[in-house]
Structure 1
């Protein structure tokens, strides 16, 4: 009996000791957390949480499809082989698809080789060169690392911008949540330009709202180098500058616009830098445009005609076009008069890709991810708790379905 009592007492002491150590660890973690400036704890939690959830879902779905006839489809076997070459770890390789391998090739080509065959701006692959060197020559991992670091800062600048535009912490958090619930938001984790482009766009608007126009110009220079639509962002930023000065157009105001807003010239300068690089490498200022025409059949067209044509082009294209129409409708209905710069930005992110013609249909869902003002509208509407629940559920289901298609190698639905 005495021995049993001693054993029970010892067990209780051990449990009490474990609880004390756990409480001490929790207290230390809380103290460290309080030292981390807001909104980084929330941003980091959102980043890690989305990464863990998508990775686990990805591995489960890929395992479930192993050995299933027709997976991958015949037209995706090349990409499947390229994924295996990139990494033997499926939680890494699943984030590479089609354009990822073209970016990877751009990181490996000698700078002296003409780039006329590649219709891609160069910021993303150029960033991967030094990062890849630090990682021992693993440029694929460098591309993935750049995308994910950009995704982390995307969340930070998104929170700051949402807080300023929507007025409070809760609304800013909803804005980030809806950014992550966009139908193809899982691409923020992929070795593609989505996270880098949107990070730079959100940063540009963040600093523009704070009237730090020199920083806007520097960020905008790189924004124009990250994607062909990037230099168009000078238009909504210029509208934001006009709004800050009360839309005045007298001679004194015009001098003020020039004195304050001259850094906006760095956005078109960024694109001109890319054109100059094309000229240096290939002898053709418009090598990018010609590569787009030759490789993908892209011609500048009326975006509304392309939009209408997509409705009758086939069931899958019609679905993609319906997403674009939904985005346009939310932008037009939901943004307020003083938010004209964000309306113009959102319209550009939809209509400029559509102006590329029917080849854009395959990647339309991917391009719509850049239209972040949609999430500002949804975050404002979602102040109604019931609507918030329904919007969250519907968007999560849509993204889940598209993510499963991506994982089962039907990537042409998205990219």
Structure 2
């Protein structure tokens, strides 16, 4: 997964490396038409080149595939084996964490004065408010809650893949790298969570444009987007740290340092959330303590976490379905460590910091939880794989033919209500 050396831009119409654009071909001195002026006035993010239209086409095709899989699951794996009617198309998506987001969106964090002091409490304060707030807002126009969650992820996923392609193109000056990075992401083992009513797609839709803005030295935009990302997942703080390091390493001149205060903005979202929880529970770290109670995320040394996960995966102490997923946790952690080493060797220090902080947070609990799902947020992994596959074409074929089927297995696992990712 090493990051390749910069390549010459592919000269495709609409790409940044193409030949200079042809001006309006009207008579000499004639002003361009109104439509042409409006087209040029559109924000850069809304202007799509041919390569980016292909990226969106790939995204739509994979959405059709994953929703067809969900429909098949409703027919083939009903809860009642004797039923004559399949479940609704949205029913398979309502699994696990979805119920926490739904209950927060419907009732808030502490309905009817319930909370951690209540027997049977669901520890919902462990989930940040960004996605539930978006869900509640979309529900005002989409009456079905599950449909509202699916719509958020659908739109956010489209924004995320466009941003990923543009980051790859900005980094390696190659349209093909962007397309491949998107393909590797969309066919990754846990890609089903990009379509579910979960936080991954929304986080990427904020975090990747934030990183792209930082690459273009637009620090106010990067800070605002990172702040919003911090309201969705705590991983946003790791993104903010990477942005700060990127700022220090790239900014030149005293005038540019005037943008430095913007880098404090991402901390606002978690600070406000902690303050809100403190006013209700008296505990500034209530979200962390909820994770400890519900998901064993209390601190353990990295080697202890590895040993406990290994025991769960191979010690025959867990049901086979859970054991298989803990095996996936171990594999994902190894991939993360390898990625970190590659980034350090390539001297991509901001991305390495982001991955290192993520691995530390995930690798110091009692055992690993949701590491495979977190790989969706490791954009350097997908860009690195894409660059590697350009030098070694067999990498792409191996990935598609081996990882692709595993993606379907994980999707079916999740959609049938089993623990996945």
Q: Shared fold by TM > 0.5?
A: yes
CA contact (8 A) 1:201 1:223 kept: yes
CA distance in 2: counterparts of 1:259 and 1:357, whole angstroms: 43
TM-aligned CA distance change 1:342 to 1:154, over 3 Å = same
Question: Equivalent of 1:396, from 396, 404, 410?
Answer: 404
Please provide the CA RMSD for this pair: 2.6
Which runs of 5 or more residues in structure 1 are unaligned?
A: 1-34, 72-83, 247-252
Q: Confirm or deny that 1:222 pairs with 2:231.
A: no
- 1:227 shift after superposition: 1.0
Q: Does 1:129 align with 2:129?
A: no
Counterpart for residue 344 of structure 1:
353
- Taking the aligned partners of 1:293 and 1:221, their CA distance within structure 2 comes to 25
Partner residue in 1 for 2:384:
377
1:203-257: CA deviation from partner (whole Å, max 9, x where unpaired): 11110000000001101111111112221222211121122137xxxxxx6x557
Deviations 1:110-162 (A, max 9, x none): 577466542110010011122111224x3332222112111111011111111
Alignment-derived partner of residue 267 in structure 1:
266
Give how far 1:40 is off. 4.6
> Could you tell me which residue of structure 2 aligns to residue 49 of structure 1?
61
Match of 1:97 in 2: 95
Return the alpha-carbon distance in structure 2 between the equivalents of residues 290 and 214 of structure 1.
33
Task: State the partner residue of 1:332.
Answer: 341
Distance 1:180 1:125, change over 3 A: same
Matched residue, 1:311: 310
- In 1, Cα distance between the equivalents of 2:358 and 2:379? 9
CA shift digits 1:344-396 (9 cap, x unpaired): 212323331222332x43x2322232222111110011002222211222221
State the 4+ residue runs in structure 1 displaced beyond 6 angstroms: none
Deviation at 1:58, TM superposition (A): 2.7
Query: Which residue in 1 is equivalent to 2:29?
Result: none
3-state DSSP of counterpart to 2:365 = coil
* 2:72 aligns with one of 43, 46, 60: 60
In proportion to residue count, which structure has more helix? 1
**Within 1, Cα distance between the matches of 2:160 and 2:267?**
23
Q: Distance in 2 between matches of 1:268 and 1:355?
A: 22
For residues 200 and 354 of structure 2, what CA distance do their matches in structure 1 show? 16
Q: How does 1:14-413 map to 2 (within 5 A)?
A: 37-38=48-49, 39-66=51-78, 90-110=88-108, 113=111, 117-118=123-124, 119-136=126-143, 138-245=144-251, 258-315=257-314, 316=323, 317-333=326-342, 337-358=346-367, 360-361=368-369, 363-383=370-390, 384-410=392-418, 412-413=419-420
User: 1:67 Cα deviation (Å)?
Assistant: 7.2
8 Å contact from structure 1 (residues 204, 220) kept in 2: yes
Is the 8 Å Cα contact of residues 302 and 355 (structure 1) preserved in structure 2? yes
Residues 65 and 134 of structure 1: CA distance in aligned 2, closer, same or farther (over 3 Å): closer
Asked which structure has the greater CA Rg, the reply is: 1
C-alpha spacing 1:110/1:288, structure 2 compared with 1 (3 Å)? closer
CA contact (8 A) 1:100 1:191 kept: yes
CA shift for structure 1 position 181: 2.0
Which structure's relative contact order is higher, taking Cα pairs within 8 Å and 6+ residues apart? 2
Q: Which residue of 2 aligns with 1:29?
A: none
Matched pairs, number: 353
Alpha-carbon distance in structure 1 between the residues aligned to 2:138 and 2:312: 42
Residues 102, 378 of structure 1: alpha-carbon distance in 2 compared, 3 angstrom cutoff: same
Cα offset, 1:36, TM superposition: 6.8
Using a 3 Å threshold, how does the CA distance of structure 1 residues 270 and 151 change in structure 2: closer, same or farther?
same
CA change 1:388–1:227 in 2 (3 A) is same
More displaced 10-residue stretch of structure 1: 179-188 or 363-372: 363-372
The 8 Å contact of residues 389 and 396 in structure 2, kept in 1 or not, is answered as yes
